[in-house]
Amino acid sequence: MLAIAGILLVVLGVVCLFKPAETLFASAWLIGFMTLVSGLATLLFTFRTQKFLPNSGTRMLSGLLQMFLGIFFLCNNMAVAISLPIVFCIWVIIEGIMLFIESFDFKKFGFGFWWCIMLLGIAAAVLGYFGLLNFEAAGKTLSVLIGLGIIFNGVCYLVAIAGINKFLKPLKEITEE
């Protein structure tokens, strides 16, 4: 089963690489679905624990808002797919700025490579900015990253099989004795 999963993940990752627009639409749908399910789970949790945990009202509101957001995402798939690269670029800019700022904390505590963190933070912020200037390219890049991530997961499954087989052989010899 692990081999089948690994092969299917590699195939899915390759499809993501060659179908960037479809990858963004599928990701947008998946985000909507997962948000809807998360909201439903939050509501169910709230109903089961409202007698024991305080602030059930805010938790219930959170669950309802998540469900509303999930339904909104599912009904507006194109808008979500188009906005994913923009949101991703803004996130990269914010994280880059945070890394830049945190690098000085590392310097203060004597970390010798603080400047690497600073440079990576600057690079991230600049790349995020350029992504905002051309979010079509950012969307394709995001799809490539998703595809590569899926491929790497599939390859890890296949490598795990080799590791499992390596350990199974001595275990079989021990149990047969």
Higher-pLDDT residue of 171, 90: 90
SS (H, E, C) the chain: CHHHHHHHHHHHHHHHHHCHHHHHHHHHHHHHHHHHHHHHHHHHHHHHHCCCCCCHHHHHHHHHHHHHHHHHHHHCHHHHHHHHHHHHHHHHHHHHHHHHHHHHHHHHCCCCCHHHHHHHHHHHHHHHHHHHHCHHHHHHHHHHHHHHHHHHHHHHHHHHHHHHHHHHHHHHHHHHC
Q: What is the mean pLDDT of residues 160-166?
A: 75
Residue 171 has a pLDDT of 66
Task: Determine whether 113 is exposed, middle or buried from the number of CB atoms within 10 Å of its CB (0-12, 13-18, 19+).
Answer: exposed
- Supply 126's token pair: 């600049």
Phi then psi for 111, rounded to 5 degrees? -70, 120
Query: Using one digit for the tens of pLDDT, what is the confidence trace for 99-155?
Result: 999 999 888 888 888 899 999 999 999 999 999 999 788 888 888 888 888 898 888
Residue 120 has a pLDDT of 93
Tokens 């099989």 map to which residue? 161
Average pLDDT, the chain: 87
* Among the listed residues 102, 65, 70, 85, the one whose alpha carbon sits nearest the alpha carbon of residue 23: 85
**pTM confidence score:** 0.66
Residue 88 has a pLDDT of 86
C-alpha to C-alpha distance for 141 and 20, rounded to whole angstroms: 8
> Cα 62 vs. chain centroid, distance in angstroms?
21
Tokens 């947008």 map to which residue? 28
C-alpha to C-alpha distance for 7 and 152, rounded to whole angstroms: 11
Q: Strands, DSSP E only, in 82-176?
A: none
Residue 124 has a pLDDT of 92
